[in-house]
Amino acid sequence: MGAVAGPEIERLVQLLARLPGLGPRSARRAALHLIKKREALMMPLSSALQVALDKVQVCKTCGNIDTQNPCTVCTDPKRDPAIIVVVADVADLWALERANATQGRYHVLGATLSPLDGVGPQDLTIDALVARAHAPEVHEIILALNATVDGQTTAHYITDLLQDANVKVTRLAHGVPVGGELDYLDEGTLSAAMRQRTLF
């Protein structure tokens, strides 16, 4: 099939297709929708992208992304400086914030250790985390990392490095999700839930 649109539109489709969750067909639909809604959607989106390009930066304290540095979370006086929640990625930080799960501060590692993918300790912000953990006001480090092999490897590695810091190191509970039915859960989730059972 030949090209149905000019190279400018094809480039827009190709760029949209690089976004997570958008394949070639979805990207074409999104591009067509943007073009149809040029005034109401495409122009404001273009402006917002330019502002983000100019103003968004990585927080020098925690690794969050924001338009100010240090970020909004780090400068919030209502946050508890005694707690640092360690996450692999900014998306995880945003997920915890959506859930209003903690009033602590954060530390974004940038990824998890993954020898197969060539990601080692030097590629993460672990040294900065260890330095923050030694601050006198910090009492707890919560490892909010994925329950994957790489996530748990990273958690164990960090725990070993924090042994000489005067902090409690905890991790998220693993087990039965809210609304979950036992019959549909995998064996690993069930055994973790049984090991980490709590008083009713």
Query: What's the pTM value of the predicted model, to 2 decimals?
Result: 0.84
**Structural domains of the chain, ranges and CATH numbers in brackets:** 63-169 (3.40.1360.10)
Per-residue confidence (pLDDT) for residue 2, from 0 to 100:
54
Average pLDDT of the residues in 54-74:
96
The model's confidence at residue 4, banded by pLDDT at 50, 70 and 90, is: low
Residues 104-163 pLDDT 10s? 999 999 999 998 899 999 999 999 999 999 999 999 999 999 988 999 999 999 999 999
Residues 136-145 pLDDT 10s? 999 999 999 9
Three-state SS annotation for the chain: CCCCCCHHHHHHHHHHHCCCCCCHHHHHHHHHHHHHCHHHHHHHHHHHHHHHHHHCEECCCCCCEECCCCCCCCCCCCCEEEEEEEECCHHHHHHHHHCCCCCEEEEECCCCCEHHHCECHHHCCHHHHHHHHCCCCCCEEEECCCCCHHHHHHHHHHHHHCCCCCCEEEECCCCCCCCCCHHHCCHHHHHHHHHCCCCC
